[in-house]
Amino acid sequence: MFVEIGHFALALALGVAVVQTIVPLWGVARNDPALASVGPAAAIACFLLVAISFGCLMMSYVTSDFSVENVVANSHSTQPLIYKLTAVWGNHEGSMLLWVLILVLFGALVALSRRSLPPKLRAGTLAAQGSVSVAFLAFTLLTSNPFRRLVPAPGEGQDLNPILQDLGLAIHPPLLYVGYVGFSITYAFAVAALIEGKIDAVWARAVRPWTLLAWTFLTLGIAMGSYWAYYELGWGGWWFWDPVENASLMPWLAGTALIHSTVVMEKRDALKVWTILLAILTFSLSLLGTFIVRSGVLTSVHSFASDPQRGLFILGILIAFIGGSLALFAWRAPLLKQGGLFAPISRESALVVNNLFLATACATVFIGTLYPLVLEMITGDKISVGPPFFNATFVPLLVPLLLLLPIGQTLAWKRGDLLGAAQRAQVAFGAGVVTMLAIFAVVRGGPVLAPLGIGLGVFLVIGALWEIGERVVTRASGASAIWSRAKGLPRSAWGSALGHAGVGISVIGIAAAAWGTESIGMLKVGESLTSGRYTVTLEAITPRTGPNYREDAARFRIVANGRLLEPVEAMKRIYTARAMPTTEAGIRTVGLGQAYISLGEPDASGAIAVKLHDKPLILLIWIGALVMAAGGALSLTDRRFRLAAPRRTPAPAALPQAAE
């Protein structure tokens, strides 16, 4: 019963999305406010219908309804409840439904937003958003229906892939999708602006919170995915330059450029055409990521060709939305009036340079990811583009950007003073250099890049804090004056300082990874292995039974620099339903570093292969990302986003928007 309701609600949502796409635009064209105001109601209805559909799929997982093909393939009656719930999006069909749910959620949020938008812009935005919903609802219904029944129904399910039976699956995909899909709103705003042929600071101010929101979640989603891969896969690596990871990195880079260019547009009415293009490209990259991940094109061009239905459908969506919006851009962008001139040395120029570097870095990831596919398609030659390529191209592009960051952020708008900005950054620069030299002096003979990278990170962190400090602390002012100044600074100033400091923190963590060490050994009970600061001793191997797996848990005594820590366990598991083995790494956090133990195969004598990593300061990588996201969230609460936008909207902001 639930299954049919869910399926029906999804089909109905498609119909409503069609209305949301067509009627508001028609209303605007015919100057009929009643028709134009259908958009918000349709967007909300569409969200409610997809939410019902999603809830129904969740119900069939909770009740282990094995008459549903999707549940059979990804669940098991003994699976813990939390994994029954997360299994809903631990597969292609269900995750597509989550994708669509978040898409229509954003549509509903725009519809409910109390910020006053010019009615034409609102209608155009909801229509554009609606068209994306139509495409993906149709894709889900026609090629990836999660509600398909199975006759006869089997008595038991096949279990969720064991690697996904982890809290990471509960957190990572929803965060990532809110980020990915959130950029659909900026895309919709850009398309609406192009249709209207008008774009100004009001537009920028309306778009900025959505961009910040999507960017914040994408940052969290990528960081969470990275940490999940780190602790679950047992390699101890945190970024692999895998195409699937690159698929999420590209929209992040473009989105980072976008949150900087919208600042210029909002404050100085400049960079309009570029910002519109960037808004389109960012969501296009999200769509491309969806295509890369779901079409099968990654495994090989040939596997894509052998089962082309889904891949071709998404490719069609890709061509329609990217091609369509770029064509619209080429047609309408020349009509947009350019504003705000600025000198070559100015905050605007600094942000243009930021965008140049980020766009190039994004293009590099794009080409590196797609080049092997295209080459194979054209010539049949197979090449690999792996981490060494990205390390050799991406990193040299980012380092100058990071070096310029603390200087650029202190430049004045319109016409800046480069010497003054450099002087303001000199304390931070000095702190970075001193840190670097101190490390060189203390740590002899280690990798050279680690102190250099940490120096850069310190430069970024101190630079970000110094910029805020200069605005808050002035000569001859007491503590209370400083406090009131600090409170008086806009939250967005604190947000950007925090965001930039977060980048520095991550850079420190990444650089310190060069000091990591690892050892491998065959251990019997009572034997030890040392790596870096840590020595572990295998104490016992105990067989245990979990709800849907059996495991051998290896308990280790762990000593760090002569200090005994809490013992740590690493596990080898067999998930019974799929007879699939997994390993669970044993991790002990000491300060900001970690000891990381993973298990290999036992040999005939009863010894087991153990790999021990010493990972100094590794947590800073993700802490930095959290700080970046906190900066984004703080900017989001800035006063000017909570108030009605000025100019162009004389109508009172307090009118309930749904009744417009």
Partner 1 sequence: MRALPLFFVALLVLSAPAIAVQPDEILKNPALEQRARALSSGLRCLVCQNQSIDDSDAPLAKDLRILVRERLTAGDSDGAVIDFVVARYGDFVLLRPPMNARTIALWAAPFLIMLSGAAFLWRRRNRSAAPAGVTLTAEEQRRLDDLLRDERG
Instruction: Tell me the three state secondary structure of residue 423.
Output: helix
152 prior amide bond cis, ω within 30: yes
Between residues 120 and 294, which has the closer beta carbon with respect to partner 1? 294
Binding segment toward partner 1, per CB under 8 A, in 43-51, 422-430, 605-613, 616-624: 605-613
Across-strand partners of 573? 551, 582
Question: Which pair of tokens denotes residue 342?
Answer: 């600025």
Question: Minimum CB separation from partner 1 for residue 367, in Å?
Answer: 5
Q: Which is nearer to partner 1, 359 or 436 (CB)?
A: 359
Largest CA distance in the chain: 83
| Residue of the chain from 68, 229, 264, 454 that contacts partner 1 (CB under 8 A) | 229
Strand order in the sheet with 580-584: 528-531, 534-545, 549-560, 563-575, 580-584
**Nearest distance in Å: CB 512, partner 1:** 19
Task: Select the residue interacting with partner 1 from 45, 359, 497, 512 (CB under 8 A).
Answer: 359
Member of 80, 237, 526, 606 binding partner 1 (CB under 8 A)? 237
Query: By CB under 8 A, what part of segment 413-452 binds partner 1?
Result: none
Q: Which single residue is written with the structure tokens 């805020």?
A: 468
Query: In the beta sheet, which residues pair with residue 545?
Result: 550
d(CA 60, CA 53): 11
Label residue 445 exposed, middle or buried (CB < 10 Å: 0-12, 13-18, 19+).
Answer: exposed
Q: Helices 449-472 and 426-442: crossing angle, nearest 10°? A: 150
- Interface with partner 1 (CB under 8 A), residue from 341, 443, 489, 658: 341
Total residues contacting partner 1 by CB under 8 A comes to 78
Which conformational region is residue 331 in: left (phi greater than 0), alpha (psi within -120 to 50 degrees), or beta?
alpha
Phi (first) and psi of residue 147, to 5 degrees: -100, 10
Helix (H) or strand (E) holding 530: strand 528-531
Task: List helix spans (H) across 30-91.
Answer: 33-36, 38-62, 69-74, 81-86
Mark the segment that binds partner 1 (CB under 8 A) among 158-166, 318-326, 490-498, 639-647: 158-166
Angle between helix 272-294 and helix 308-318 axes, rounded to 10 deg:
180
**CA separation for the pair 475, 486 (Å, rounded):** 15
Nearer residue to partner 1 within complex by CB, 494 or 549: 549
**Distance in Å, CB of 242 to partner 1, minimum:** 4
Given candidates 273, 465, 559, 580, which one binds partner 1 under the rule CB under 8 A? 580
Binding span for partner 1 by CB under 8 A among 114-122, 451-459, 560-568, 593-601: 593-601
Among 354, 598, 635, 657, binds partner 1 (CB under 8 A): 598
Residues 377-416 interacting with partner 1 (rule: CB under 8 A): 379, 381-389, 392-394, 397
| Contact with partner 1 (CB under 8 A) among 80, 344, 547, 646 | 344
Contact 249, 240 (CB under 8 A): no
Of the candidate residues 204, 599, 628, 636, the single one contacting partner 1 (CB under 8 A): 599
Q: How far is the CB of 550 from partner 1 (least distance, A)?
A: 14
Smaller CB separation from partner 1, 390 or 466: 390
> Rule CB under 8 A: which of 514-543 touch partner 1?
520-522
Task: Please select the residue that binds partner 1; options are 6, 118, 234, 624, rule is CB under 8 A.
Answer: 234
Q: Which residues contact 593 (CB under 8 A, 6 or more apart)?
A: 533, 614, 615, 616, 617, 618, 619
Task: Give the residue with the Cβ less far from partner 1, 130 or 168.
Answer: 168
**If binding is defined by CB under 8 A, does position 39 make contact with partner 1?**
no
Strand partners, 602: 608
Query: Which residues, at least 6 apart from 430, have a Cβ–Cβ distance to it below 8 Å?
Result: none
Letters for 75-94 (x = contact with partner 1 by CB under 8 A, - = none) are ---------------xxx--
**3-class secondary-structure state, position 558:** strand
CB of 282 to partner 1, least distance (A): 17
Residue nearer to partner 1 on the CB measure, 264 or 610: 610
Q: Which of residues 548-567 bind partner 1 (CB under 8 A)?
A: none
Residues 463-522 that bind partner 1 (CB under 8 A): 520-522
Q: Are 68 and 147 in contact (CB under 8 A)?
A: yes
Residue whose CB is less far from partner 1, 111 or 254: 254
Complex with partner 1: residue 19 or 536, whichever CB lies closer: 536
Please measure the distance between the N-terminal and C-terminal CA atoms of the chain and give it in whole angstroms.
37
Cβ atoms of residues 554 and 541 within 8 Å: yes
Using CB under 8 A as the binding rule, whether residue 245 contacts partner 1 is answered as: yes
Beta bridge partners of 563: 560
What is the token pair recorded at 634? 């703080």
Give, as ranges, the residues between 164 and 203 that touch partner 1 (CB under 8 A).
164, 168, 172-173, 176
The contact pattern for partner 1, residues 291-310, with x = CB under 8 A and - = no contact, is: --xx-x-xx-----------
Query: Among residues 124, 146, 209, 225, which is the contact residue for partner 1, using CB under 8 A?
Result: 225
* Site mask for partner 1 (CB under 8 A), range 273-292, x = bound: ----------------x---
